[in-house]
Amino acid sequence: MDNYHNGSDAGFAQAQTRPRPQVLAFYTICNSCLVRELQLLLFVSESEIRSDQIGRLHLSVFEMEMDSSTMLFNQLKSSQPFFLLAGPNVIESEEHILRMASHIKAITSKLGLQLVFKSSFDKANRTSSKSFRGPGLVEGLKILEKVKVAYDLPIVTDVHETIQCEAVGRVADIIQIPAFLCRQTDLLVAAAKTGKIVNIKKGQFCAPSVMVNSAEKIRLAGNENVMVCERGTMFGYNDLIVDPRNFEWMREANCPIVADITHSLQQPAGKKLEGGGVASGGLRELIPCIARTAVAVGVDGIFMEVHDDPLNAPVDGPTQWPLRHLEELLQELIAIANVSKGKQSFKIDLTPFRD
């Protein structure tokens, strides 16, 4: 990020000599730098800036973000046979993320699928405090932005606190709400106010009807670009099940439905560690089963975590799909989706049958 973007005095002096169109082109503004950015736009002193100018500028930025998000949202909604949110669970290194993005984009481009690249900058809800969490907010967003620019890919990543939403919204195209936090009103509202698409994962403890309320919280905050994601339901201890009926019932939220085909096969805290403690296990071999079911039922999008070396992945290795098999699985899912009528309601005629 150069001096102009970080709002330093050097950047301000530099901006005074720049052509006005270049200055106006920069519209991604954080609240903490709003006054300085308004100075750059108007070439006035701080004392000359009125609160109504700040308010109008902040609103125009939000509207521009909403316009670009709505375009992507409409593209995803119309994607056939489905769109794909995919990538490694967590950012391990810049080199690894860029390599994974390159491979996954090559595969999805070949198959004609709309891809949104996924990875997390911080795994804040790990079973163990010893688990790898990622590079953190600042470094993680820098890496995701490099992916976005290098491969011209939209980005989805998750947030855990309201304070993260604004910074994440400056990079990510889709902000994901973790399943554990799907009812947290303040977090949902903060994500919605970025103007970005919000993907809400259904809590493992929630009925599908809960997602109607969660999606409505996004809309009431002024953002219509919301989708909901099924990621399994707790089935006793250390296990999840996927109820295919949820894919249909969640349509009551009146938004795109995504199936998380990898986290759905977690076995939370089901793996004992050497030296004591537990971590999440998983049933990777059943990922195709859940995926086939989801596309046959007619979901709008597939979420899956993919890794080039799952056995050595630092987080959620047991439920990350091997990169070497990604194209093969996606080809099968596309074939199933293309012959299924899952996205169409079955019209049931209950009038008496007559010979």
Residue type, 352: P
What's residue 122's pLDDT?
Answer: 81
Whether residue 32 is found in the same domain as residue 153: no
Whether residue 29 is found in the same domain as residue 96: no
Whether residue 12 is found in the same domain as residue 111: no
Whether residue 84 is found in the same domain as residue 190: yes
Q: Phi first, then psi: what are they for 270, rounded to 5°? A: -100, 5
Length of the chain in terms of residues written: 355
353 domain residue, yes or no: no
Strand partners, 226: 198
Q: Which residues contact 182 (CB under 8 A, 6 or more apart)?
A: 200, 201, 202, 203, 206, 210, 211, 214
Whether residue 165 is found in the same domain as residue 221: yes
Q: Phi first, then psi: what are they for 299, rounded to 5°? A: -70, 160
How distant, in Å, are the alpha carbons of 139, 144, 239, 278, 308 from that of 131?
19, 21, 20, 10, 20
107 domain residue, yes or no: yes
14 domain residue, yes or no: yes
Whether residue 304 is found in the same domain as residue 226: yes
Whether residue 9 is found in the same domain as residue 40: yes
Whether residue 313 is found in the same domain as residue 179: yes
59 domain residue, yes or no: no
Whether residue 169 is found in the same domain as residue 278: yes
253 domain residue, yes or no: yes
Q: Which domain holds residue 316?
A: 68-339
pLDDT tens digits for the chain (355 residues)?
A: 433 333 333 433 333 333 323 223 333 334 434 444 444 444 444 455 555 555 555 555 556 667 889 999 999 999 999 999 999 999 999 999 999 999 999 999 999 999 999 999 987 665 556 666 678 999 999 999 999 999 999 999 999 999 999 999 999 999 999 999 999 999 999 999 999 999 999 999 999 999 999 999 999 999 999 999 999 999 988 899 999 999 999 999 999 999 999 999 988 766 666 666 656 788 999 999 999 999 999 999 999 999 999 999 988 889 999 999 999 999 999 999 999 988 888 899 999 999 8
Whether residue 29 is found in the same domain as residue 177: no
How many structural domains comprise the chain?
A: 2
Structure tokens at 85: 């949110």
Strand partners, 41: none
Nearest to 172 by CA among 151, 192, 197: 197
What's residue 107's pLDDT?
Answer: 98
On whether the pTM is more than 0.75, the answer is yes
347 domain residue, yes or no: no
Question: Please, are residues 183 and 203 in contact by the beta-carbon 8 Å criterion?
Answer: yes
Using CA atoms, how far apart are residues 102 and 345, in angstroms rounded to an integer?
37
63 domain residue, yes or no: no
270 domain residue, yes or no: yes
Whether residue 37 is found in the same domain as residue 82: no
Question: Please, are residues 241 and 232 in contact by the beta-carbon 8 Å criterion?
Answer: yes
Q: What is the CATH number of the domain that holds 78?
A: 3.20.20.70
Q: What is the 3-state secondary structure (H, E, C) of the chain?
A: CCHHHHCCHHHHHHHHCCCHHHHHHCCCCCHHHHHHHHHHHHCCCHHHCCHHHHHHHHHHHHHHHHHHHHHHHHHHHCCCCCEEEEECCECCCHHHHHHHHHHHHHHHHHHCCCEEEECECCCCCCCCCCCCCCCCHHHHHHHHHHHHHHHCCCEEEECCCHHHHHHHHCCCCEEEECHHHCCCHHHHHHHHCCCCEEEEECCCCCCCCHHHHHHHHHHHCCCCCEEEEECCEECCCCCEECCCHHHHHHHHHCCCEEEECCHHHEEEEEEECCCCCEEEEECHHHHHHHHHHHHHHCCCEEEEEEECCHHHCCCCHHHCEEHHHHHHHHHHHHHHHHHCCCCCCCCCCCCCCCC
Nearest to 176 by CA among 163, 193, 188: 188
Catalytic residue IDs: 89, 123, 316
Whether residue 140 is found in the same domain as residue 214: yes
Using CA atoms, how far apart are residues 211 and 190, in angstroms rounded to an integer?
17
Nearest to 232 by CA among 193, 272, 289, 273: 289
β-pairing verdict for 83-87 and 115-118: parallel
